[in-house]
Amino acid sequence: MATRPARREADREIAAPNKSYERIQVCALSLFAENGVESTSIRDIGAKAKVPTSLLYHYAPSKFKLVFDLMFDGMQRYQASADDARALGTTADERLAGLLTAHIIMHCRNRQLAKLISNGWQPLPKKDKDIMATVRDRYSRLWDEVLRQGLEGGVFKLSDPRLARLSIVQMCSVSTWFDPAGPLSARDLVEQLGDLVFATVRANSNGAPLHFGKAHLSPYDAVLAIVERHHQGAVFGRKR
């Protein structure tokens, strides 16, 4: 049974729900990214967030609610960022450049969230897992549409567009190894991985190889601004 001081503390915290739930989410995200969802208990989250158990269960009856809320909100922001970044271009190669730039920036910008989005959906209850599968499929369609456009226009040469998309997204998902203090910046990664992606799809212009290069890197700042705008107000909006 909670003590009276603990109850009073919980009452004060509930009076400021946004701040309280944000702290819980930030701590949960850190633990999920570091230890995995299945290895993190609801008590681990409460201890890290330094909140009484009564408050924790008020906001999150299970850790899976925290996983779902973080992933769903994060994927909505991923979708909006990628959609706007893709819209910066008109040709298939320009749109692919926008997508891969946004994806890499988001993985560098918040590695914890990217790790959760990549793996956290698997332990979810079936209902929540089905919802997340629909959201993830919507994000995949952004890539599929661009690859199809390039294939139909002769800009890309692909025998299996789905396999190409899976390979490209995996290649650009750098959250597990990117180090912001390392030798490569996010811009460097976009330029170098952009070359690899264009080679993967065999991008060409009238039969001549089309390289990523400076022409496709030039919208980097515009894409970065798009990502920053769509992540305003998110509890995971800070770089971690």
Instruction: Write out pLDDT tens, residues 144-201.
Output: 999 999 999 999 999 999 999 999 999 999 999 999 999 999 999 999 999 999 999 9
Task: Output the pLDDT for position 160.
Answer: 93
User: Burial of 152 by CB count in 10 Å (0-12 exposed, 13-18 middle, 19+ buried)?
Assistant: exposed
CA distance 196 to 98: 15
To the nearest 10 degrees (0 to 180), the angle between helices 186-200 and 161-172 is 160
Q: What is the pLDDT of residue 239?
A: 46
Q: The pTM is what?
A: 0.86
User: Which has the minimum average pLDDT: 35-44, 95-104, 133-142?
Assistant: 35-44
Structure confidence at residue 235 (pLDDT): 67
Whole-angstrom distance, CA of residue 42 vs CA of residue 161: 41
At 3-22, the pLDDT tens digits run: 444 444 434 443 344 677 88
Question: What residue ranges of the chain are covered by domains with CATH 1.10.10.60?
Answer: 4-61
Share of residues in the chain with pLDDT > 90 (%): 68
Instruction: Indicate the average pLDDT of the chain.
Output: 87
Lowest mean pLDDT among 52-56, 134-138, 193-197: 52-56
CATH of domain 70-230: 1.10.357.10
- Quick one: tokens of 48? 């890290």
What CATH architecture does domain 4-61 belong to? Answer: Orthogonal Bundle (1.10)
- Residue 135: how many CB atoms within 10 A of its CB? 18
Q: Which helix (H) or strand (E) holds 17?
A: helix 17-35
Task: Please say if the pLDDT value at position 1 is more than 60.
Answer: no
Residues 6+ apart with CB under 8 A from 65: none
Residue range(s) in the chain whose domain bears CATH number 1.10.357.10: 70-230
Cβ neighbours of 200 (radius 10 Å): 15
Report pLDDT for 128. Answer: 92
Rounded to an integer, the average pLDDT of 95-100 is 96
